[in-house]
Structure 1
Amino acid sequence: MRKTLVFLSLIILTFLSCEKDDFCTQNPVTPNLILRFYDDSNRETLKVVDNLYVWAEGKDSLFINASLDSLFIPLNSAATETVYNFSKNNIINQFTIQYTIENEYISRSCGFKVIFNDVNFASNNTWITDFEPATLTVEKQTEAHVQIYH
């Protein structure tokens, strides 16, 4: 009887000492900025950008010789501004994104999520003729945040 009681106690202590596994199910937590490229003459029609090179100021290129109608780019969560260069056929357009940062606690396993508020866009409009911010907050990655016309 004593051996059985000791054995049961050890089993109970073993199960009580186990920690719950934490997995972050929200991936990615911090959203990227989503850009969609449209035809300037027909603003409802998506338009592919041929030979697109993209790089953040002071960084290497993200996409080399890509042809895209949409682009996901990360924003710098350690700063309040991110500057990207978009090159199309060797014509460079500088696109500046300014924002404020809000950290939101998600869970112990995921940590914090960065939400970009008060987002403002500026461009030197070389090959990009116009753009429309669709939102002033970048919190999710479910739809485009900016429509770029070229």
Structure 2
Amino acid sequence: MKKIVFITLSLLLAVSFWNCEKDDICAEGTAVTPRVIIEFYDATNTTVLKSVTNLGVIEPTFTTGLSFTGVSKIEVPLRTTADLTSLNFIQNGNDSDTTNDNIDLLTFNYVRNDVYISRACGYKTVFYLDTTNPIELTADGNNWIQNIEVIQPNIETENEVHVKIYF
């Protein structure tokens, strides 16, 4: 009786693996919801990349965010459940001294489109920045960000720069 049960289970496992299809497993490297790629440039010499130091990026209602230092390119996520994302870009926000923080609020305005990848991977969301008002910089009289330039309004991959920030 034990042999019959073992053979039956073995056949069941073999048939289940045999019926496994390619898209039953989401392969590593499969395209996922892209983040917006931002490069930083010197505001006085706009062709020169400039590294950020102690940059904090956080959604205003969150308690923790992302931190960057010594880089001129960053990747930040956009909301997949709304057509805008507001993020605080905090100069000196990655250090322990909060008295020197300079917060610039950026609001990304976009349209979302969910794209089917496969049965195993599900969907990814791609973003299309608004053509008339893609990114709003809230003016507070003390902005460290001097200018924002949209290079690629279609955020479909992470293979290219989408936005340039000059400071």
TM class, shorter-chain normalised? 0.7 to 0.9
Give runs of aligned pairs for residues 36-115 of structure 1, distance below 5 A. Answer: 36-64=39-67, 66-89=69-92, 90-115=101-126
Q: Is the 8 A contact 2:40 2:51 kept in 1?
A: yes
Percent of residue pairs identical: 33
The answer for the alignment partner of 2:137 in structure 1 is: 123
Q: 1:28 to 1:46 in 2, by over 3 A?
A: same
**Shift of the alpha carbon at 1:107?**
0.4
Normalised to the residue count of structure 2, the TM-score between the two structures is: 0.75
Larger Rg: 1
- Once superposed, what is the RMSD of the aligned Cα atoms? 2.5
Structure 2 letter corresponding to 1:39? D
Distance 1:78 1:31 in 2: 14
- Does 2:31 align with 1:20? no
Structure 2: segments with no counterpart, 5+ residues:
1-8, 93-100
Partner-residue secondary structure (3-state), 2:53: strand
**Shift of the alpha carbon at 1:12?**
7.5
**Deviation per CA, 1:79-103, whole angstroms, max 9, x where unpaired?**
1110000111411101100111111
Distance 2:67 2:162 in 1: 23
The answer for the alignment partner of 2:5 in structure 1 is: none
Q: Is the 8 A contact 1:134 1:145 kept in 2?
A: yes
Q: Is the 8 A contact 1:55 1:84 kept in 2?
A: yes
The answer for the alignment partner of 2:151 in structure 1 is: 134
The answer for the alignment partner of 1:145 in structure 2 is: 162
Distance 2:148 2:111 in 1: 20
The answer for the alignment partner of 1:32 in structure 2 is: 35
Paired residues in the alignment total 143
Q: Is the 8 A contact 1:35 1:144 kept in 2?
A: yes
Structure 2 letter corresponding to 1:97? F
Q: Is the 8 A contact 2:152 2:162 kept in 1?
A: yes
Distance 1:131 1:84 in 2: 14
Distance 1:92 1:11 in 2: 62
Distance 1:80 1:33 in 2: 14
